[in-house]
Structure 1
Amino acid sequence: MDKQFEEWHTEIMQQIHAAQTLSELQSLRSHWLGRRGIITLAMKGLSSLSIEERRSQGQQLNALRETVLDLLTSRQQEMEMAEETTQLQREQFDMTLPGSWPQTGLLHPITRTRRFIEDVFLRMGFSLEYGPEIEHEWYNFEALNMPANHPARDMQDSFFINVPGMVLRTHTSPVQIRAMKKYQGRLPVRIIAPGRAFRRDDDATHVPMFFQVEGLVIDHGITLADLKGTLTTMAQELLGTDIRTRFRPSYFPFTEPSVEMDVTCASCGGTGCRVCKGTGWVEILGSGMVHPVVLTNGGYDPSQVSGFAFGLGIERLAMRIFGIDDLRLLYQNDMQFLSQFQSYIGRPIL
């Protein structure tokens, strides 16, 4: 072997043996075999030699290169194995250490309340219907007897999007029209429509994004007595037979006559507090007999059939069931707050 190559071989052996870390080994690899390494540049310089010298030195350089690669690879494997052994010795498993319990998940109080409501109405013969959250203004307003520039729209501050005629639905009531269109005049209609709605409200009993359950019944001879009986049964199933309720006259453009249903405030038990604004009552839903215009827009003849509808706020009902005094707490994702309802057994939550 050429004397220069023998010196390189000896030097490489010494350097690889002296290397103590993988980073030092990588530096040696770059120094000798990298793009500008000593052996690499020597191989590039073979082109300036004669054919005989090129053949002789080329064979020696290739042999040296292969030897260096083998030495580097072997030394790297030794270092990695030694490092792994050291780490295993340092991280021995201690059987005496106490174990850790995995954190148990749970359904959000709003989801649990929604499932409870659905169970109650499904047992009463209702079916589930759903509608889009980005709704056309015709379904959200016009079809529900709220034409453009109608003052009733001021009651529902809306989030509009950059698509003409489309809005984040302000209530789940548009599902009434979609359900009537789906049934195409068939009777009876008994549906509930759970889902999200959006309004620019934010206080102890209102949030910009909230959940509702819309209810609709259409058939021959439906009266306000059917509405009151259904909602009273629902309240007793959800809140207990000792719950106090009251119905107050109200106004909704899509029902006539219209009533609001209140239940005893969960925070003060009816004595008056900031949640119920000192009245002792908290409104949980609005309802009434379906307006003839709405029936007509849905494809039904108001002279032949009648119906009632209601919109139930799930958050307010969850506040009543779980004893929460501020609706906004439900949306702060505070696990310490939410976890207190994990073992809740006051009512049979599904």
Structure 2
Amino acid sequence: MEHNVKLTSAEMAVLWTSYMNDSLSMCVFSQFLQHVDDDDIRPVVEHALSLCQRHIQSYRQLLTKENFPIPVGFTDEDVNLGAPRLYSDAFYLKYIDGMAMVGMTSASAALAGATRDDVREMYTSLLMESVALHNTAIPILLDKGIYVRAPIISTPSQVDFVKKQNFLTGFFGERRPLNAIEITNLNINIFRNCLGEALLLGFAQTAQSKKVRQYMERGKDISAKHIKVFSDILSHDDLPPAVSWATDVSNSTTHTFSDKLMMFHVAALTGAGVGNYGIAIGTSPRRDLGAAFLRLQGEVMLYGEDGAEIAIENGWLEQPPMADDRTELARHK
């Protein structure tokens, strides 16, 4: 028996979000491709762009079959391919690796929430492609000496168990050393903020609207502040602090990406940042770390809310699929 199974809200959500993100990435990678010089990095940029183009076609086919309106997303109007280089080749590669990691997370979540065979097959493929892109980028980053490994700590000599309540403390008195999970949380969030700081620096230089430019500058400052907070915690345990990516940004002030695209990109990264901080809160036993992540998470959430207001004011915020407003339907019966 053949069943005409409709898309669930979870499937609509991931398809809509994926379309928006891949249409944005097509603009970004197309701009990168105009300037990449490194013979090792160029094929990675070309491959990343081809993946996005193929994904867009897949989303279109599936959504069209379901009579689902194709999102506007981002188009050639949102990127100036004739603009000068805004970021270095090294940034291109680090950015692609960062987006591949975001892709792994989002594809895993999409796969977990999908029910229909065609949607699950699509996101299984997308997950594998993100993994492959990450595995392609890492060796090149290592070969060029631009990949910053996580801090190295001593291998435990034996299995041990926590014996004292002060394992959880951190506000007063002597703090215990960071554990490997806490170091990982700090390191991941330093990486994300280094990416954000450099990206926002370029966005601030090239934004057309004064309000958008100020918003990008504020976001850059927030990222720099968070990098310092996390780096200081690592430094207290004699672990290496972060290295800024600001030198990967050129001095170009030419309009490169539309303000609409930049605001959406920052919103997406802000949402991912809130999620990353949430994971850190839940997996960092030392109370001072959880409190620090919680405080900084609130700052990021407020920043994201202010960005949404700017996008709404300018008519840039495309609305995701919504549940029926039953009260409104009844009112107009």
TM range, normalised to the smaller chain?
Answer: under 0.3
More strand by share: 1
> What TM-score, normalized to structure 1?
0.23
More helix by share: 2
Instruction: Point out the structure with max Rg over C-alpha.
Output: 1
